[in-house]
Amino acid sequence: MIVSKQKPFADILASLDGRSRVFLVGCAKCATVCKSGGEEEIWQMQESLTSAGKEVTGSVVIDEACHMLRVGRDLRTRKEMVEEAHALLVLACGAGVQSIAASSGKPTIAGADTLFLGNIRRFGQFEQRCSLCGECILTETAGICPVTVCPKGLLNGPCGGMDEGHCETDPEAECVWHQIYQRLKEQQATENLKKIAPGKDFSRMLKPGKLKLDK
């Protein structure tokens, strides 16, 4: 899922300066799970904005704010409330904000910062495990991604900062190459650690990404 985090309320208010009527948009998928823009957060935002003297003309929580067709459809069903507003405040990831901005024609305020593609460790705890690099090497690395979990993205083993299995950037964190080494040892496959990984093909992750499925 895409992990996002609501911006501080003061920053949101500053972005709404001079715009007294606001329509709120949330997302029923990722932003709901990470509590940046689900039903509950939309309701809380409505309360906070009202207390701050803003008028909330209405709200909608879209089932996948990144789905451009659904966004168009859902905003049309609340056409009047959207029309009345000076701005739309979107509590969703950057993909969601953009489909809403493209569909409404109104000034759109991004109310959340998009952080990463994350795994859910447990309720309310998210971790980045995949960098969307376009060239998956997990088969070689015991199912643990050094591109993402190593702060340097090193492909050939730990850097000189690793000691006793810890990462130089965060002594609390286990070095990803130590994790890979331990798992490969369990699988009796440390031979994998002898193969030199070539330089990564960064052309696989050139922006903007596009994919069109064959009919």
Partner 1 sequence: MISRLQQKLASGQFVITSEVCPPKGADCGEFLGKARVLKGQVDAINVTDNQGANMRIAPLAVATLLVREGIEPVYQITCRDRNRMALQSDLLGAAALGIGNILALTGDHISFGDHRQGKPVFDLDSVQLLQAISTLESGFDLAGNRLQGAPAFFAGAAAAPEAEPFELTLFKLQKKATAGARFFQTQAIFDPDRLAAFTTAVRPLSVKVIAGIILLKSAGMARYMTRHIPGLKVPDHIIAELEEASDPVAKGVEIASRLAAAARHHCDGIHIMAMGREELIPEIIKEIR
Query: Is residue 126 within 8 Å of 135, Cβ to Cβ?
Result: no
What residue type is assigned to position 25 of the chain?
Answer: V
Q: How far is the CB of 24 from partner 1 (least distance, A)?
A: 32
Who's near 29: CB < 8 A, 6+ residues apart? 1, 63, 64, 65
Reading the block at residue 191, the tokens are 């031979």
Q: Does 172 bind partner 1 (CB under 8 A)?
A: no
Q: How far is the CB of 176 from partner 1 (least distance, A)?
A: 11
Q: Does 159 bind partner 1 (CB under 8 A)?
A: yes
Q: Does 173 bind partner 1 (CB under 8 A)?
A: no
Q: Does 115 bind partner 1 (CB under 8 A)?
A: no
> Which of 20, 50, 119, 156 touches partner 1 (CB under 8 A)?
156
Q: Does 101 bind partner 1 (CB under 8 A)?
A: no
Q: Does 23 bind partner 1 (CB under 8 A)?
A: no
Q: Count residues contacting partner 1 (CB under 8 A)?
A: 29
Q: Does 148 bind partner 1 (CB under 8 A)?
A: no
User: Would you say 106 or 152 has its CB closer to partner 1?
Assistant: 152
User: Would you say 78 or 152 has its CB closer to partner 1?
Assistant: 152
Q: How far is the CB of 166 from partner 1 (least distance, A)?
A: 10
Query: Is residue 15 within 8 Å of 46, Cβ to Cβ?
Result: no
> Which of 17, 80, 164, 172 touches partner 1 (CB under 8 A)?
164
Segment interacting with partner 1 (CB under 8 A) among 65-73, 87-95, 109-117, 186-194: 186-194
Compute φ and ψ for 186, nearest 5 degrees. -60, -35
Binding site for partner 1 (CB under 8 A): 151-165, 168-169, 177-178, 181, 190, 193-194, 196-200, 202
